[in-house]
A and B are shown apart, each in its own frame.
Chain A
Amino acid sequence: MPATKYRPIQEVQRNGSVSKTAIREAVEKLADLRRSDPAKYKEMIRSGSNRDVRLITKHG
């Protein structure tokens, strides 16, 4: 079977703005840090652990 292809979200994107480049850079940066400096990576993860992540949900 072929490898999983993660779907692009252009279809969805049309309906909203996306900080695409900034997100890609942030993801890359953290992944590189995990490999190159595990201690600093752990420290960053620890510093983020007290921050909540919440989506805006306007309706239900």
Chain B
Amino acid sequence: MAATASVGVFINCPFDDQYQPLFEAVVFCVAACGFLPRCTLEQTDGAAVRIETIYGLIGQCNHSIHDISRTEVKGQPYLLPRFNMPLELGIFLGAKRFGRGSSHKRCLVMDRARYRYKRFISDIGGQDIKAHINSRPKAIRHVRDWLQSAPGKVAIPGGKRIWQKYLQFRRELPVIADDADLDSEQLTYIDYLQMVTTWLERNRY
């Protein structure tokens, strides 16, 4: 059964060491809420053009999460900010505004501080930007609360409950990876997602 756009959640976030704990928690939370997390890491074809992959994911997902917390000059060569995340947010907003039948698309914008975005992307002012303060429980709560308001509700547990489940999952993850003959220090996104969904099925709320 192919996933439908109504359950797809495109995750647009940094893929660096510092952000990874937040990313892994957000992926777990999206799956725990009954949605399907999607991101460019699922594309393993080296010949695929990245921007086309992004267009495809935005087209295939009614929901998207944009984390713009890494838009900064700190640690960047030439003191220029990384701008991939705001670019992808802009593509999503364009799709929502101009795409045929795309007005139902919804997004969650997160940053590490609530009003920081006003310094570099003030045109999105008026939208409710959520601050996760680089905290996994806070990111989980924001994602969960946002998905709860999506059409076609299912029973979605509270953010605190998802966080507790996530901690249990993380404790078991190295053992599961080892037992499945996977290298826990070099997991692919697909393998991680498979472990998340299989674990959730077996450890229901």
Q: How many A-B residue pairs have CB under 8 A?
A: 171
Choose one: B32, B178, B193, B204; the contact of A12 (CB below 8 Å). Answer: B193
Indicate if the CB atoms of B171 and A45 lie closer than 8 Å. Answer: yes
Q: How many residues of B contact A (CB 8 A)?
A: 67
Partner of A7, one of B41, B197, B205: B197
A37-60 Cβ-contact flags toward B at 8 Å (1 or 0): 000000011011101111111111
Residues in B with CB closer than 8 Å to A23 are 176, 180, 182, 191, 194-195, 198
Within 8 A of B (CB), among A22-46: 22-31, 44-45
A19 to chain B minimum Cβ distance, whole angstroms, is 6
**B50 contacts A by Cβ under 8 Å:** yes
Complex formed: what's the CA distance from A8 to B191 in Å? 13
Q: Are A2 and B193 in contact (CB under 8 A)?
A: no
Q: List chain A residues, Cβ under 8 A from B157.
A: 4
Q: Does B38 contact A (CB under 8 A)?
A: yes
Which residues in window 1-24 of A have CB below 8 A to B? 1-13, 15-20, 22-24
A-chain residues with CB within 8 Å of residue B50 when the two chains form the complex = 59
B residues neighboring A (CB under 8 Å): 1-3, 7-8, 14-16, 20, 23-24, 31-36, 38, 40-45, 50, 60, 82, 84, 153-157, 170-182, 184-195, 197-205
